[in-house]
Amino acid sequence: MTFGAKDLATLRRIVEEAVAAEVMPRFGALGAGEVRRKSGPLDLVTIADERAEAHMRAALARYFPGALVIGEEGETPRSFPELATAPLAFTLDPVDGTANFAAGVGAFGAMAAAIVAGEVVGAVILDPVAGSVALALKGEGAWVEDRQGVRHPLRVAPPAPPEEMTGFLSWRFLPHGMRETVCARLPRLRAVWDFRCAAVEYRLAAAGACHFLVFNRILPWDHAPGVLLFTEAGGYVARFDGSPYTPAESRGGLIGAPDRAAWEALRHLLLGEA
C-alpha cells in the first residue's frame, strides 16, 4: 500500500470540508446541550466534534474503501494494535482543543494522519481560524499553506542547551511522583507553556517557534499527525525510555526536541537523577 501526494491532498480536502460544514458554523455558537463532559471538566465533546468525525469517516469510506479509521469520538482503548498491521489506516481528531473551542477561544485545530503498516506517512493539521493547514509526507518534508495557498517550509528551532529551551509540557497527565519531579524542575528551562491543544503546539514546534514538546498521554489521534510533522521538519521524537514512537501504543510518554542530543539533555533534566 502506498500513500502519496495526491492521497494527502484528498485527506486534506476531507478534513477541510468537514470542518467548514460542521465545526466553524458552531464556533462561538454552541447551544444548550451541545457540550458535555467525558472523563472530566477539561475533557469535553461537542456536537461539532461528533458530526465532523462522522463527516470525515463517510468521506474516507468513499475515497479509501476498506481502510481502518480510528477517531477520538469513536474509540476508547489505551492501545491500538491494529494500527501496527493495517495496510492503510487513518486517525482523526475533528476538534483538537475542544475545551478551547467550547469556550470560544481560537486555539483549536483538526488533525488527521495516514498510517501504512504501522508507519505514519501523511499528516494534516488544520488551523480553521487562521485558514492555514500544515502538511507532512513521509520522506518529503513538512510545510504550511496559508489562506492564499502560499507554501512555507517548516523547520524546527536550532538545538539549544536546556536552560535556553522553550516549549510545551503537558504535566497534568503525568503519573504521581513523576509529575512532582518534573514540575519542580521546570524553572531550569527558559519557558514552558500548555495551550491545551496538541494541534497548535505541534505546528508551533515544527515551525521553530519553540524547542520542545513533552506529553504523557499519547493517544494516536492527538500525536500521529504531529509527530510526523515535527520529525519531517527536522526534529527528533522518542518515548520517555528512548524507544521510538508508534501510533499503536498510547503509553510511555513522548519528548520532541530539535535533535537527539537536545532530546537526551532535556530528558535528563526533566526525568533523570537530580
Give me the amino acid identity at 97: G
Q: How confident is the model at residue 41 (pLDDT cuts 50, 70, 90)?
A: low
The rounded Cα 110 to chain-centroid distance in angstroms is 9
Give tens-digit pLDDT for 118-171. Answer: 999 999 999 999 999 999 999 999 999 999 999 999 999 999 999 999 999 999
Architecture of domain 162-271: 3-Layer(aba) Sandwich (3.40)
Cell numbers representing residue 261 in the block: 542530543
Q: Which of 4, 235, 228 is nearest to 124 (CA)?
A: 228
The rounded Cα 186 to chain-centroid distance in angstroms is 23
Cell numbers representing residue 96 in the block: 483538537
Query: Rounded CA gap, 93 and 106, in Å?
Result: 16
pLDDT for residue 72: 84
The rounded Cα 200 to chain-centroid distance in angstroms is 8
Q: How confident is the model at residue 177 (pLDDT cuts 50, 70, 90)?
A: very high
- Is the Cβ–Cβ distance between 69 and 94 less than 8 Å? no
Map residue 201 onto helix, strand or coil: helix
Give tens-digit pLDDT for 68-123. Answer: 999 988 766 667 999 999 999 999 999 999 999 999 999 999 999 999 999 999 99
- Mean pLDDT for the stretch of residues 215-224: 96
Q: Which of 5, 1, 2 is nearest to 140 (CA)?
A: 5
Chain position carrying cell 456536537: 47
Q: Which of 191, 136, 159 is nearest to 258 (CA)?
A: 159
258/42: higher pLDDT: 258
CATH 1.10.760.10 given to domain 5-153? no
In degrees and rounded to multiples of 5, residue 104 shows phi and psi of: 80, 20
DSSP structure class, residue 86: -
Domain ranges of the chain: 5-153, 162-271
Q: What would the DSSP string read from start to end of 203-252? A: HHHHTTSSSEEEES---HHHHHHHHHHHHHTT-EEE-TTSPPP-TTB--S
Query: Rounded CA gap, 230 and 205, in Å?
Result: 7
